[in-house]
Amino acid sequence: MKVAVIDMGTNTFHLIIVEVEKDDFKIVYREKTAVKIGEKGINHGMITDDAIDRALKTLSKFKEVIDEEEVEQVFATATSAIRNAKNGKGLVALIKEETGIETRIISGIQEAEYIYYGVNKAVEIGDKASLIMDIGGGSIEFIIGTSKEIIWRQSFEIGGQRMVEKFQKHDPMLPTDKEALIEYLDSNLEELFDACAEHQPKTLIGSSGTFDTLSDIYSLTSNVERAKDATEYPLTLESFNEIYQELIVKNREERLAIPGMIPLRVDMIVVACELVNFIINKLELIDIRVSGYALKEGVLLNTLHSLEKEETL
């Protein structure tokens, strides 16, 4: 059986199609498109007409692929930008009308749980608590967990696109821009700090775009090989710090020239790295890892589990 999962993120729409094999899956198609649905509207609680047009065009293309691949079931989720927009439900109705795709708007807590499922499949977390971090365009999810369980999770509506529009007034960012961003993070992440003080995670596990790109930069600049079927990607704290120091002094054109950098990530990566650096130092973390799986794989795993339960009833 073929199953498709669509993740409608604030910056990127993802499509994966898998062949289900008993209780596991094999990815047969993967695509991502920079829809930037939150652009110019996310901090005003609206999705602009241009963003709606980009979303519908992308999803129509996804639907063509889904039909060509003879997919039997499609599971589409929408996250921060759509769940917080005044016209989000209207967009979901329009998506159904234009493409036939049924979209489920998920909460931040559900998003965090799905991310954990994806990361836990990709990475051997172990028995000690780790801090999982997923930087989206609209929200950031933090999960403290082990291989066996989620200990704590929370979603914060302060994602990369929101931070870019609020704080990245200059490129490169000025020290005053950075100070304002750090002050904002410090005052908005108190729940995270309290949870980490209680559970004492020492390892950061990053998932999704920013961390993928950081790993790509590290691999290319340090000549580190990554297996094609790897589900955990290489990165070290030392290499993160070197990349961070390089990124914060370069402008957009200079960042694009860095091996491993992609246009999709070049605008948001500065504020995202400021966030990662802040978290590492604030929480005194001593290790960093990168998961190849995130929300969409978590949705898939949860879906397969649900289908398996239905078959046994």
Structure tokens at 142: 């933090």
Of the CATH numbers 3.40.50.300, 3.40.50.410, 3.30.420.150, 2.40.160.40, which one belongs to the domain with range 123-295?
Answer: 3.30.420.150
Longest CA–CA separation in the chain, Å:
60
- Say what the pTM is: 0.93
Q: What is the pLDDT of residues 272-281, one digit of tens each?
A: 999 999 999 9
Return the beta strands (E) in 259-310 as ranges: 287-291
pLDDT the model gives residue 121: 95
- Most confident of the following: 35-49, 51-65, 219-233: 51-65
Relative orientation angle of helices 209-221 and 237-247, to the nearest 10 degrees: 100
Encode pLDDT of 97-108 as tens digits. Answer: 999 999 999 999
Quick one: pLDDT at residue 304?
A: 82
Contacts of residue 90, defined as CB under 8 A and 6 or more positions apart, other chains included, come to: none
Q: Is the pLDDT of residue 116 over 80?
A: yes
Does the domain at 2-105 match CATH 3.30.200.20? Answer given as: no
Band of pLDDT at residue 313, cut at 50, 70 and 90: very low
The per-residue pLDDT for 208 is 87
Residue 307 has what pLDDT?
A: 63
Q: Residue 84: how many CB atoms within 10 A of its CB? A: 21
Q: What is the pLDDT of residues 120-161, one digit of tens each?
A: 999 999 999 999 999 999 999 999 999 999 999 999 999 999
Q: Where in the chain is the domain with CATH 3.30.420.150?
A: 123-295
pLDDT at 145: 98
More confident residue, 310 or 159: 159
Per-residue model confidence (pLDDT) at position 159: 93
**Cβ pair 250, 292 in contact under 8 A:** no
Mean pLDDT of the chain: 94
Residue range(s) occupied by CATH 3.30.420.40 in the chain: 2-105
Instruction: Tell me: pLDDT of 310 over 60.
Output: no
Q: Is residue 49 over pLDDT 60?
A: yes
pLDDT band of residue 43 (cuts 50, 70, 90) is confident
SS (H, E, C) 283-294: CCCCEEEEECCC
Give the CA-trace dihedral at 64, 68, 73, 79, to 10 degrees.
Answer: -30
Kindly tell me if the per-residue pLDDT of 206 is higher than 80. Answer: yes
Is a pLDDT exceeding 90 seen at residue 21? no
